[in-house]
């Protein structure tokens, strides 16, 4: 996921002092006038309205857009950056706050919680469908499946592409939640798929949430495939579930730009060694050979140091839980289906 930056066309002359302006400038170097003042005022007004409406995701997205129109060393940039960090922390605590809040009344409270869960699921399902309306995603996905159709048949090829698509949309969902602009997924045969970021995450904690959202959604897709196998008895569904588990476990390797590296960034050194222990235990129970590579890379990341002073408990348990459940799912038997 690679950040990008774009700039709107700017006037060649500063309206305040008449100085000539380079196209990429955000403020006049002579008088300091902000060159997107009107747009910034509009974004601020809309962000404040979103705050009054209690829509944290919409507010943070608007403030992030405003940051892109401000010089990084300006007072306004620092103020908005602090607000974005505050909103990001608040978004992380939304679910926890909801789960610990006292219900208004027995049946009413449970009913509201159920409606909230259903609404969240519908929103995620809508996002999955929305992603397929993007021509670049749909056609690259079809081309991707076509390459593997010749190798393993159309059913497994489509299931393979769908597993990767759901994984990538997990990233997109988390990015949208934090108001970070990104492209739709683009499939690349032989590689997988990528989502290109147009803005940076606020910190390592936020980056970990975005990174691990992919394997979390990928696990959900594999679980659905396995459930379908249990109901239908068709071995192809077991093969798709096993593939999905394997590819998501591979993404947890904490190296380079893989999701595991993002998940490891906010962990303390002690948490990293605990993760190594979880990986070792999972290997002892499942015998999944991929865990050897996962464990070696995790041990190196823990040994070289550089862990966060205060570890991120949420990132740790998400990473550890994914290692465990995905390791077991890679051992799903696939009688008569496409071998891994």
pLDDT tier at 113 (50, 70, 90 boundaries)?
very low
CA angle 59, 64, 69 (to 5 degrees): 125
For residue 1, pLDDT over 70 is answered with no
Indicate the pairing of strand 192-194 with strand 186-188: antiparallel
Task: Name the more confident of 123 and 317.
Answer: 317
CA distance 282 to 40: 51
CA distance 324 to 64: 36
CA angle 88, 92, 95 (to 5 degrees): 140
As a whole number, mean pLDDT of residues 312-333 equals 97
**What pLDDT was estimated at residue 125?**
67
What's phi and psi for 186, nearest 5 deg? -125, 125
What's phi and psi for 34, nearest 5 deg? -70, 135
19-28, 111-120, 183-192, 319-328 — which is least confidently predicted? 111-120
**Other CB atoms closer than 10 Å to residue 75's CB: what's the count?**
9
Q: Identify whether the C-beta of residue 83 lies closer than 8 Å to the C-beta of residue 45.
A: no
CA distance 144 to 135: 14
Q: Which of 60, 77, 88 is nearest to 181 (CA)?
A: 60
46-50, 100-104, 194-198, 226-230 — which is least confidently predicted? 100-104
Task: Name the more confident of 127 and 315.
Answer: 315
**What pLDDT was estimated at residue 106?**
52
CA distance 49 to 256: 40
For residue 129, pLDDT over 80 is answered with no
Q: CA dist 288 to 177, 246, 273, 296, Å?
A: 34, 9, 20, 14
Q: Which of 184, 310, 326 is nearest to 260 (CA)?
A: 326
pLDDT in tens, 252-261: 999 988 999 9
**What pLDDT was estimated at residue 317?**
97
pLDDT tier at 320 (50, 70, 90 boundaries)?
very high
CA distance 233 to 3: 44
H or E element in which residue 64 lies: helix 56-67
pLDDT in tens, 248-296: 999 999 998 899 999 999 999 999 999 999 999 999 999 999 999 999 9
**What pLDDT was estimated at residue 107?**
53
For residue 110, pLDDT over 80 is answered with no
């Amino acid at each position: 996921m690679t950040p990008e930056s774009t700039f709107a066309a700017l006037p060649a002359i500063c309206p305040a002092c008449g100085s000539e302006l380079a196209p990429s400038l955000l403020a006049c170097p002579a008088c300091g006038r902000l060159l997107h003042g009107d747009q910034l005022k509009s974004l601020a007004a809309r962000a404040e309205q979103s705050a009054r409406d209690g829509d944290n995701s919409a507010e943070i997205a608007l403030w992030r857009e405003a940051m892109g129109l401000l010089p990084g060393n300006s007072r306004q940039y620092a103020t908005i950056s602090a607000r974005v960090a505050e909103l990001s922390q608040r978004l992380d605590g939304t679910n926890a706050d909801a789960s610990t809040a006292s219900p208004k009344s027995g049946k009413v409270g449970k009913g509201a919680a159920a409606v909230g869960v259903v609404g969240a699921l519908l929103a995620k399902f809508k996002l999955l469908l929305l992603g397929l309306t993007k021509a670049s995603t749909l056609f690259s996905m079809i081309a991707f499946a076509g390459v593997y159709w010749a190798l393993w048949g159309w059913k497994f090829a489509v299931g393979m592409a769908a597993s990767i698509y759901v994984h990538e949309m997990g990233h997109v969902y988390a990015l949208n939640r934090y108001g970070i602009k990104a492209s739709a997924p683009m499939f690349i045969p032989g590689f997988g798929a990528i989502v290109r970021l147009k803005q940076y995450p606020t910190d390592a904690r936020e980056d970990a949430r975005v990174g691990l959202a992919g394997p979390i959604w990928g696990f959900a897709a594999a679980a659905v495939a396995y459930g379908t196998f249990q109901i239908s008895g068709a071995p192809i569904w077991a093969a798709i579930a096993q593939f999905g588990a394997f590819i998501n476990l591979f993404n947890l390797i904490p190296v380079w730009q893989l999701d595991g590296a993002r998940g490891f960034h906010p962990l303390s050194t002690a948490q990293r060694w605990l993760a190594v222990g979880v990986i070792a235990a999972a290997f002892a129970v499942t015998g999944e050979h991929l865990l050897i590579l996962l464990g070696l890379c995790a041990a190196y990341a823990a040994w070289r140091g550089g862990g966060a002073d205060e570890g991120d408990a949420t990132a740790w348990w998400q990473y550890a839980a994914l290692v465990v459940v995905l390791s077991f799912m890679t051992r799903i038997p696939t009688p008569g289906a496409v071998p891994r």
